[in-house]
Structure 1
């Protein structure tokens, strides 16, 4: 990690000394809740509230280090996860994404796939292409029409398998695909949007081609 990286990503924030103590306490509780999914190594230095050599960045408090990485491009996260077990645990915990939402960090990625090729993600900020693992779906799903929607840290892909409608989900945290439970009212060719970590689908048609007018939140 270069000095330039830290200069660009280290943001120091301080509370206003004129704030009431109870307001500062609330702020601290909100900050602590962001890191609840990440469990740092339990060392004597950490228990005493001091930065240690076992921290993510030696000599720096973990919450400060997490803020630094939250400001970095998320296309770099797989590289961070390869550094050691501590970074891998941090990336897979989802903690960084919680902090990014709190800080208002927004990145737009483009997901696309050709029929016989795996899904790919494109990071416009870094002009970087990333190939996702191949989806373990059947051949029918591969060739059928599909709808896709990015929600939170997940990519949802809707389509049809031999057994009927199916939904596959790719996780940015675990970097793998899993088959989701079917929708209560399965459909295809629908409109979609998202609100935070909620997927919203509207309209579309059912398995026999009847037009549906009911919206669903997933």
Structure 2
């Protein structure tokens, strides 16, 4: 199967509040470890300052997370994102699957971060949505472009989480509220991606071949 391609309709300028929304979303999409309660409190505080289309979904997620036992939330996170490819948080997977083209896409992302003065940890892949959102919060112009480039994959992830009645669907609803609506070729790309799935050529991830496809989820929000 060939890698799917789609055209973007251009990147809308980032609004001043987008950076705050992307940071809050990033915090909520990281693995709910022992520091998640602090991130949850911060994200809820930030969400309350955002416009309703972005704030409402985030507050629905934070309310759910506050009612959930930490161990239950962590188990649900693993079951959702680590065991279901259709709910993959690694954005280049949707366009390239486990092919060499994905390795090139990962390298380009890392180069983008390096050029902006960012350094990823050894346990982070640059296409994890929490990482991309954190970068977008720090560099809204470049981040908006990256998110728009992966718009079709983000939409497919949002739909998959919605179908699974996952609480993290609310976070993806909030991400979508910061991005231009899907139109034309992008809608077609989502339909094709949903019907065909990512490319399946198993040839490694050179030049990222030394890194596994799925790594422990990054703890975002710290200094870079």
TM-score with structure 2 setting the length: 0.28
Specify which structure has the higher proportion of helix: 2
TM-score with structure 1 setting the length: 0.28
- The structure, 1 or 2, with the larger RCO (C-alpha pairs under 8 Å, 6+ apart) is 2
Specify which structure has the higher proportion of strand: 1
Larger radius of gyration, structure 1 or 2? 1
